[in-house]
Amino acid sequence: MNAFRLFVLGISFLAFGLFFSCSKSEKEASLATGSNEWELVILDSIQVDYLADIREGTFNNGIGLIKDISSRTLVKFDTTGRILLKKEFPQEGPGSVMWLQTLVEHNGEYFGLTSFKDIYHFDKELNIKETLKMPFLGEARGGAYNRKNITVWNEKLLLWYPGRDGVSPYIDHFHRDYALLELFDLKTRNSIPVVRTPSTSKFSGEDFHVSPSISFAIANDSLYLVFSNEPLIHVYSMGDSIQWVRSIDIEASDFKLLHGQKTPVTYQEMIRMYEASVYGIFTDAKNIILTYHGGIDEETFAINELKERENFYRYPEFLKNYLKIYNHGLGWSNPIMIPAKIKLILNIESVEKPFYALRDDDFIGEEHDFLTFYKLQLRRK
């Protein structure tokens, strides 16, 4: 009887082990069927009957919004390219808009960030619904193409807006010693400094580096923040306080950077090469999507005299642009090449949805009196 019981017990343990082994294999097989190998496909293109130097915009729920850098004009259009609304704002006086930069959509309305003081809240018809006043003057100067540096979370705005206590973001070790972002409460109109650079970042140490741009996105109450010239995603949990959780290496094989040094980086040192840059971060419930370029090495930079202003237009000849997807179950995808003729990705709402990007007519050598946007789709291989 004892021998029989031991036999049955052994069979039970074997079955138990096989069950969990099969469950693990089935889970891995299930994840594998959702391949993490992707390609970028151009599905179509649309023409918007407007011509301007566009460096900022977004596209959500079938509606695009772009900003003309040379005027205070906002243009709203649909997936066919039809202009739904075009609005130019005065520079001074009632209803004026100044220094407008990044745009973010929220419930069909828009918030527009500026460098110096105001945050503009536009309604669906692009009327200024309210002008939100920051409690101090901003110290950021200049902007990057469509940098993702403002988002909405729980009726609060999280934004890159340095300048608290008059501190400039261009001083030595700013990113090590000061909070990076502001959390502006839309109800109380108060703002508090939040988010510190974690110890995993190169900007937390004593070495000097080229000052980065900051981009970020929020999904599932997690904040994903990147410095432009660092191949890491810093993850924070959102809540009563915003706490660092971990950092994720983006595993980029092509990401050329200047080494850290013991003295501040001079302009002459900066223009020895062109550093790699993360320039876009997007999220959905299951994925983080990054866009970046790998930079230009010192030898190529010198041979082609790329530090000279008259040769700036040649950068796309030597830069490789990539898109990578981090799936929370599968990890990193393959690096997906972004064609050089794509100038500006407006937004990526989900890896499953088409998205839109501005075509670079200068690069392809065509002149038009309209803007062309590619309709793109990420497709599993």
Token digits for 185?
């409460």
Q: pLDDT digit string (tens) for 262-271? A: 999 999 999 9
* Structure token digits, residue 152: 């909405």
What is the distance between the alpha carbons of residues 275 and 265, in angstroms, rounded to a whole number? Answer: 13
CA distances from 36 to 41, 314, 336 (A): 16, 33, 11
Quote the pLDDT of residue 33: 55
pLDDT of amino acid 146: 85
CB of 139 closer than 8 Å to CB of 169 = yes
How far apart, in whole angstroms, are the C-alpha atoms of residue 169 and residue 139? Answer: 7
Q: Which residues pair with 217 in a beta bridge?
A: 224
Convert the chain into a string of H (helix), E (strand) and C (coil): CHHHHHHHHHHHHHHHHHHHHHHHHHHHHHHHHCCCCEEEEEEEEEEECCCCCEEEEEEECCEEEEEECCCCEEEEEECCCCEEEEEECCCCCCCCCCCEEEEEEECCEEEEEECCCEEEEECCCCCEEEEEECCCCCCCCCCCCCCCCEEEECCEEEECCCCHHHCCCCCCCHHHHCCCEEEEECCCCCEEEECCCCCCCHHHCCCECCCCCEEEEEECCEEEEEECCCCEEEEEECCCCCEEEEEEECCCCCCCCCCCECCCCCHHHHCCCECCEEEEEEECCCEEEEEEECCECHHHHHHCCCCCHHHHHHHHHHCCEEEEEEECCCEECCCEEECCCEEEECCCCCCCCCEEEEECHHHHCCCCCCEEEEEEEEEEC
User: 145-179, pLDDT tens digit by residue?
Assistant: 788 999 999 999 999 999 999 999 999 999 999 99
pLDDT tier for residue 91 given thresholds of 50, 70 and 90:
confident
Across 27-31, 56-60, 364-368, the highest mean pLDDT is recorded for 56-60
- Say yes or no to pLDDT of 15 above 90: no
Q: Which amino acid is at 135?
A: P
Give the contacts of 13 (CB within 8 A, at least 6 positions apart).
none
Give pLDDT tens digits for 302-359.
999 999 999 998 999 999 999 999 999 999 999 999 999 999 999 999 999 999 999 9
Give the Å distances, CA to CA, from 155 to 36, 185, 194, 262: 34, 7, 16, 42
Strand 355-359 and strand 342-345: pairing? antiparallel
Q: Is the pLDDT of residue 24 over 80?
A: no
pTM here is: 0.89
Q: At residue 23, does pLDDT exceed 60? A: no
- pLDDT band at residue 144, thresholds of 50, 70 and 90? low
CA 62, CA 78: separation in Å to the nearest integer? 6
Taking alpha carbons only, the member of 329, 338, 331 closest to residue 277 is 338
How many beta carbons lie within 10 A of that of residue 126, not counting itself?
19
Mean pLDDT (the chain, rounded):
90
What tokens does 352 get?
A: 């499953």
Confidence of residue 18 (pLDDT cuts 50, 70, 90): very low
